[in-house]
Amino acid sequence: MAKQEQSGGSILQFAPFQSFVDEGFWHRLSSLKLNKLGIDDSPIPVTGFYAPCSHSQVSNHFTLLSESIPSNESEQCSVPAIPRSNRNRCSVPGILYNTNTWEAYHALDKKSLLKEEAKKIWEDIHTGKAVEDSAVLSRFLLISFADLKKWSFHYLFAFPALVFDPPATVVGLKPASQWFTLEEADSVSAACNDWRNSNLTAGWRDLLRVPNAVGWELNKGRHISRVINLAKSMDPTMLAISAADLNLKLMRWRALPSLKLDKVSSTKCLLLGATLGCQVARMLMAWGIRKITLLDHGRVAMSNPVRQSLYTLDNCLNGGDFKAMAAVKSLKEIFPAVEAEGVVMAIPMPGHPVSSQEEESMLEDCRRLHELVDSHDAVFILTDTKESRWLPALLCANANKITITAALGFDSFLVMRHGPGPLNSTHDLKAEPENALSADMDSLAMADSGAERLGCYFCSDVVAPTDSTADRTLDQQCTVTRPGLAPIASSLAVELFVDILHHPNGIFADCEIADSSNSGSSEQPLGILPHQIRGGDRESEKRKRIPAPSN
Amino acid sequence: MAKQEQSGGSILQFAPFQSFVDEGFWHRLSSLKLNKLGIDDSPIPVTGFYAPCSHSQVSNHFTLLSESIPSNESEQCSVPAIPRSNRNRCSVPGILYNTNTWEAYHALDKKSLLKEEAKKIWEDIHTGKAVEDSAVLSRFLLISFADLKKWSFHYLFAFPALVFDPPATVVGLKPASQWFTLEEADSVSAACNDWRNSNLTAGWRDLLRVPNAVGWELNKGRHISRVINLAKSMDPTMLAISAADLNLKLMRWRALPSLKLDKVSSTKCLLLGATLGCQVARMLMAWGIRKITLLDHGRVAMSNPVRQSLYTLDNCLNGGDFKAMAAVKSLKEIFPAVEAEGVVMAIPMPGHPVSSQEEESMLEDCRRLHELVDSHDAVFILTDTKESRWLPALLCANANKITITAALGFDSFLVMRHGPGPLNSTHDLKAEPENALSADMDSLAMADSGAERLGCYFCSDVVAPTDSTADRTLDQQCTVTRPGLAPIASSLAVELFVDILHHPNGIFADCEIADSSNSGSSEQPLGILPHQIRGGDRESEKRKRIPAPSN
């Protein structure tokens, strides 16, 4: 609080602070609101900083920085406490009212809020707190509406100044050292304190009414909100990330508090087939999955763009781009922060003849697919023939990956979760023989003893997979499905996947043993889709009739 | 058939034709196969043309043109019959075996096929048909596999030449005029015919065995198929059109013979809202709808691309493109032949205050929306608030448009068909008063007497629409829905729409009165989706709980 002597009078006046808010403050507020507070709009204690100005007639700059907002508890270990004040950086306590809505922001009773702060100052003067810490005399008030969707912040500061009646007048202030010796000063001070704390002043204090206060900061001379839009100064990719995360984090406020975004975003997904893979990849990105690998050996054909949402006509020219590569390029145009990779490779298939000169490269493909399955957490089997699902289904069962199959018929579709492999269902690792893989397969072939075990795509099949592509007429070769089925099946596959990630009895539960922050009782399944899977409940598989292969 | 005299001998040999197939032939074949024949692979009679060559040692060119394939019956009125032969264009009868699969093509018994043609020639010689029409001696055979998906055609010609044992030898051929007078020639000819038709030759003919035949055309000196790929010479847009249509036309072969592609493609669709509108527009294009208008007043926000499949990050920069315009641009990149239009306009909403200076432009918006509804056949109401559906629902009911609503909640969605308005349900136009619109509304308000009437989005609502956007917290304002719901609801909306277009009792049935080519009894509903609508069957509406508005 600065004092200003009027040329012609002696009334005490206050030179207002001039506020400045660092962008870091708004970023910290956004993070606090989005990740921790949710719809809780209780006042937030904040700290402002100013450097006293030696010139009268010049307002002091008052600054809010990112450290003005108290750290989250989890961050307290690493982030240092607010630095102590020094001559050039005096700290001031304040309070922030950040509303949930634009309407609530405008409905704030600014007069009452200011009065409340004035009362604190008045009380601090009377309790002597102001003597111990003069910063409480400069207390400030900030009201805001943070439109996190637009990175736009509406706000208004108040620096409460008490208005006395009759007005306080300025006396010739001089340092006490000019009037008293050090001993005399101590004695006066002690006498004042005694008097203030004595019974004599108790009644007197009660009689005092809190004086009125002024101090809402003007914006271009008027009492209107300031607004800052950070989007303009932010990198587009960063904006895209925060925007995509925004929708997901908002889910956690009320709709889905159990959503585990960290787990979801760190899951690596392998998509086999870039036809249904288009919609699956889009939905995964929308749920916050950031690591996506797309495998396909085909090229984008002219008939693809109207049905497969990651391709345009440009991808079809000059023989067509590889689907895996075109899809990855498109994903990055949608969301540049996605870690997407394309793999151009055919999946080895039983029943398809392999010539002797192709044998080595086919075995290499098997090895490569094995490695891909091992290096991902979840596999979506989205290919267009039954036999191309065979090897991936085995590899996934063997490696205990989350495995989801989606397949289309003309007017039917199948979306199902594969059960885990034998290691997961038995947890019996002690008897592991030399040839672990063949033992796994033996074990896989054994009858299921418990309720924990789900089947795979082939478990209800009675014929071995064979070459289904030979001798197919055009209407069997092409994408002859009702167009709506691909997005419906793909979306259900991803919703099912997200449910599995969250289910306490899901296959992922094993992985959570190592994750101490997620212990049993707090786990709640998302529990929304009808095909949500309880461990071993075969009824819950959403299985319609076996679809005819399509492309 | 040309003759060639060997220098050293007198054995009769045949100079083979050299085949040339015009692209028009393949286009006509594709159209015939796709639109008419389907999986019917019966032999097709075709006509070839050649100009006799006067040089020995030079093969005659033999040509197939688009008119080589008989016209469809429906085209017969407008397309002239095959032109009569002349000196430079002799026509030859042939037969085309076009197989359904690559495997069937290779499995064709070429020897038998050739023998069959040879037999025809042999019989025509003996019956004298060859004398009446010498073209039957040059009959040809064509086998092919038309891979319509790739615009690639595999084919092989045979020009059967009879192999006599002992070989036929060349005698000094001279025109009969050099040996006989005209009268003598007639007399010899008549005597030959008498002899051939007499009982004396009958037994003799039966004894004759059909001679062997040769004549499969060589390709670079070998007996391998020729292949032509038309895709390289076709305009990309034309290719995209034919490819998109291909999948739909193939549906008609077996899966969905009742699919009325002409009706579907000529339907004009108005999409209100370019959020769900993204997926709806994509699905409409995939079903062959070509006329799409997208209305939205908003701009593409950073959070949109991961959930709304017609936008990329580029659309979000510099404040964001208008969604309606960005969506149209994207649709054209997917399928350049789409007739898509964007309309940037807000829908007037009850409960939202209008200032007096905005009044005129709001009324103008009402008029514009009215015109848009009138000029389209179907309206998809896909906006993000309840109140923005109000005016469109009224206008659609009044104009008896096919109307589909899709709306999302967090984990619920609604897809429904609106019922037709009062004019359609009563067909009672005689008592139309001066103010037709108000009478319509009166009638609309009347209790429903028959089973014909479905409700609209508001019919089961108990409160008037009001401003639902005010005072909403961030998690209520933003797209806080499970990401999978938008594509599921949008796709169901379009599948429902296509079902309605085909249902004999659907609202569109009225329009079909004028369409004589679709008469009652042949009408079959597609009959696949569970929410398929029989007229007035309210049970069949797929209605879950009223969704919270979302954006």
Question: A372-410 pLDDT, tens per residue?
Answer: 999 999 999 999 888 899 999 999 998 989 999 998 888
Q: What is the pLDDT of residue B56?
A: 63
- CA B223 to chain A, closest CA, distance in angstroms equals 23
Between B158 and B504, whose confidence is greater?
Answer: B158
Choose from A491, A529, A531, A545 for mutation: most chain B CBs within 10 A: A491
B32 part of contact set with chain A, CB < 8 Å: no
Is the pLDDT at B205 greater than 60? The verdict is: no
Query: Is the overall model pTM greater than 0.80, yes or no?
Result: no
Beta strands in B354-477 (DSSP E): 378-381, 402-408, 413-417
A484 part of contact set with chain B, CB < 8 Å: yes
Which one of A218, A234, A250 terminates a domain? A234
> Do residues A348 and A370 lie in contact, with contact meaning Cβ atoms separated by under 8 Å?
no
B237 is written with which tokens? 């847009």
Q: Span B214-230, mean pLDDT?
A: 89
Between A4 and B494, whose confidence is greater?
Answer: B494
Residues A214 and A272 in one domain: no
How do B226-229 and B268-272 pair as beta strands? Answer: unpaired
Contacts of B298 in chain A (CB under 8 A): none
Of the candidates B472, B485, B495, the beta carbon closest to that of A101 is on: B472
On whether residue B29 sits in a domain, the answer given is: yes
Is the pLDDT at B446 greater than 70? The verdict is: no
Q: Span B391-410, mean pLDDT?
A: 91
Integer Cα distance of B401 and B456 in angstroms: 12
A118 part of contact set with chain B, CB < 8 Å: no
| Top-confidence range, A55-69, B148-162, B445-459 | B148-162
Q: Span B406-416, mean pLDDT?
A: 88
A309 part of contact set with chain B, CB < 8 Å: yes
Chain A residue closest in CA terms to B336: A313
Q: Which helix (H) or strand (E) holds B154?
A: strand B152-163
Q: What is the pLDDT of residue B232?
A: 78
Residues B149 and B53 in one domain: yes
Of the candidates B312, B334, B480, the beta carbon closest to that of A255 is on: B480
Instruction: Tell me the CA distances in angstroms from A336 to A242, A244, A284, A287, B305, one per residue in order.
Output: 12, 11, 14, 15, 11
The DSSP letter of residue A70 is P
**Bridge partner list, A214:** A161
Contacts of B528 in chain A (CB under 8 A): 411, 482
A43 part of contact set with chain B, CB < 8 Å: no
A548 is written with which tokens? 């005819």
| Top-confidence range, A457-461, B39-43, B189-193 | B39-43
Q: Which residues of B361-389 are buried (b: 16+ CB within 10 A; e: fewer)?
A: eeeebeeebbebbeebbbbbbbbbbbbbb
Q: What is the pLDDT of residue A506?
A: 47
In order, the DSSP letters of B452-463 are -----TTTT--S
Integer Cα distance of B271 and B380 in angstroms: 5
A240 is written with which tokens? 């895209």
Instruction: Tell me the CA distances in angstroms from B377 to A40, B286, B297, one per residue in order.
Output: 48, 18, 22
A50 part of contact set with chain B, CB < 8 Å: no
Residues A214 and A275 in one domain: no
Residues B318 and B218 in one domain: no
Q: What are residue B195's phi and psi, to 5 degrees?
A: -60, -45
Q: Cβ A494–B473 below 8 Å, yes or no?
A: no
Is the pLDDT at B484 greater than 70? The verdict is: yes
Residues A206 and A299 in one domain: no
Integer Cα distance of B426 and B443 in angstroms: 9
Half-sphere exposure of B466 (CA within 13 A, CB side): 6
Percent of chain B whose predicted confidence (pLDDT) is above 90: 36
Q: Which of B205, B132, B183 is nearest to B191 (CA)?
A: B183
- CA B241 to chain A, closest CA, distance in angstroms equals 8
ipTM over 0.95: no
On whether residue B244 sits in a domain, the answer given is: no
Q: Span B523-549, mean pLDDT?
A: 33
Contacts of B487 in chain A (CB under 8 A): 279, 283, 487-488, 490-491
HEC per residue, B76-135:
CCCCCCCCCCECCEEEEEEEEEEECCHHHHHHCCHHHHHHHHHHHHHHHHHHCHHHHCHH
Give B182's pLDDT tier (boundaries 50, 70, 90).
Answer: confident
Between B471 and A529, whose confidence is greater?
Answer: B471
Integer Cα distance of A28 and A69 in angstroms: 7
Give B469's pLDDT tier (boundaries 50, 70, 90).
Answer: confident
Residues B219 and B367 in one domain: no
Please identify which residue in the block is written with the tokens 């910290």.
Answer: A28
Q: Span B84-110, mean pLDDT?
A: 87
A147 part of contact set with chain B, CB < 8 Å: yes
Choose from B280, B302, B328, B528 for mutation: most chain A CBs within 10 A: B302
Q: Which of A29, A35, A20, A19 is nearest to A66 (CA)?
A: A29
> Do residues A414 and A521 lie in contact, with contact meaning Cβ atoms separated by under 8 Å?
no
* Catalytic residue status for B478: yes
Neighbours of B23 (CB within 10 A): 14
Q: What is the pLDDT of residue B85?
A: 58
Half-sphere exposure of A169 (CA within 13 A, CB side): 7
- Type of residue numbered A2: A
B150 part of contact set with chain A, CB < 8 Å: yes
**Bridge partner list, B381:** B272, B405
Integer Cα distance of B42 and B33 in angstroms: 11
> Do residues B343 and B297 lie in contact, with contact meaning Cβ atoms separated by under 8 Å?
no
Contacts of A301 in chain B (CB under 8 A): 149-150, 243
Q: What is the pLDDT of residue B534?
A: 27
Percent of chain B whose predicted confidence (pLDDT) is above 70: 76
Which one of B232, B248, B283 terminates a domain? B232
Q: How many domains does chain B have?
A: 2
Residues B405 and B462 in one domain: yes
Q: What is the pLDDT of residue A440?
A: 40
Integer Cα distance of B165 and B210 in angstroms: 11
Whichever domain contains A196, its CATH number is 3.40.140.70
> Do residues B399 and B288 lie in contact, with contact meaning Cβ atoms separated by under 8 Å?
no
On whether residue B66 sits in a domain, the answer given is: yes
- CA A321 to chain B, closest CA, distance in angstroms equals 14
Integer Cα distance of A150 and A235 in angstroms: 14
B360 is written with which tokens? 């005129």
Beta strands in B316-375 (DSSP E): 339-344
Between A311 and B531, whose confidence is greater?
Answer: A311
Residues A215 and A289 in one domain: no
On whether residue B51 sits in a domain, the answer given is: yes
On whether residue B532 sits in a domain, the answer given is: yes
Choose from A278, A303, A408, A531 for mutation: most chain B CBs within 10 A: A303
Is the pLDDT at B358 greater than 50? The verdict is: yes
On whether residue B243 sits in a domain, the answer given is: no
Residues B29 and B128 in one domain: yes
Whichever domain contains A488, its CATH number is 3.40.50.720
Angle at B269 between CA B265 and CA B272, to 5 degrees: 155
- CA B515 to chain A, closest CA, distance in angstroms equals 25
Q: What is the pLDDT of residue B293?
A: 98
Q: Span B304-315, mean pLDDT?
A: 95
Integer Cα distance of B99 and B96 in angstroms: 9
Q: Span B173-198, mean pLDDT?
A: 78
Helix axes A359-374, A390-399, angle to 10 degrees: 40
Give the residue ranges of chain A where pLDDT is below 70: 1-9, 53-59, 72-87, 172-173, 199-208, 421-453, 460-463, 477-479, 504-551
Domain with A55 in it: 2-234
A547 is written with which tokens? 């679809």
Question: Would you give the distance in Å from CA A326 to the centre of its chain?
Answer: 28
On whether residue A447 sits in a domain, the answer given is: no
Mean confidence (pLDDT) of chain B:
78
Integer Cα distance of B137 and A162 in angstroms: 118
Count of pairs with CB atoms under 8 A, one residue in A, one in B: 205
A473 part of contact set with chain B, CB < 8 Å: yes
**Bridge partner list, B45:** B95
> Do residues B217 and B156 lie in contact, with contact meaning Cβ atoms separated by under 8 Å?
yes
Integer Cα distance of A205 and A201 in angstroms: 6
Contacts of B314 in chain A (CB under 8 A): 333
The DSSP letter of residue B248 is H
Q: Cβ B149–A256 below 8 Å, yes or no?
A: no
Residues B149 and B74 in one domain: yes
Q: Which residues of A410-426 are buried (b: 16+ CB within 10 A; e: fewer)?
A: bbbbbbbbbbbbbbbbe
On whether residue A83 sits in a domain, the answer given is: yes
Q: What is the pLDDT of residue B14?
A: 76
- How long a stretch of residues is chain A? 551
Instruction: Tell me the CA distances in angstroms from B159 to A166, B55, B138, B146, B182, one per residue in order.
Output: 121, 19, 7, 21, 34
B399 is written with which tokens? 């104009």
Half-sphere exposure of A321 (CA within 13 A, CB side): 19
Integer Cα distance of A295 and A342 in angstroms: 6
DSSP H helical segments within B128-198, as ranges? 129-132, 182-197
Q: Span B486-510, mean pLDDT?
A: 78
Q: What is the pLDDT of residue B57?
A: 63
In order, the DSSP letters of A235-251 are -HHHHHHHHHHHHHHHH
Q: Cβ B306–A334 below 8 Å, yes or no?
A: yes
Q: What is the pLDDT of residue B549?
A: 36
> Do residues A397 and A456 lie in contact, with contact meaning Cβ atoms separated by under 8 Å?
yes
Q: What is the pLDDT of residue B503?
A: 74
Residues A295 and A154 in one domain: no
Give B527's pLDDT tier (boundaries 50, 70, 90).
Answer: very low
> Do residues A549 and A468 lie in contact, with contact meaning Cβ atoms separated by under 8 Å?
yes
Residues A226 and A85 in one domain: yes
- CA A172 to chain B, closest CA, distance in angstroms equals 53
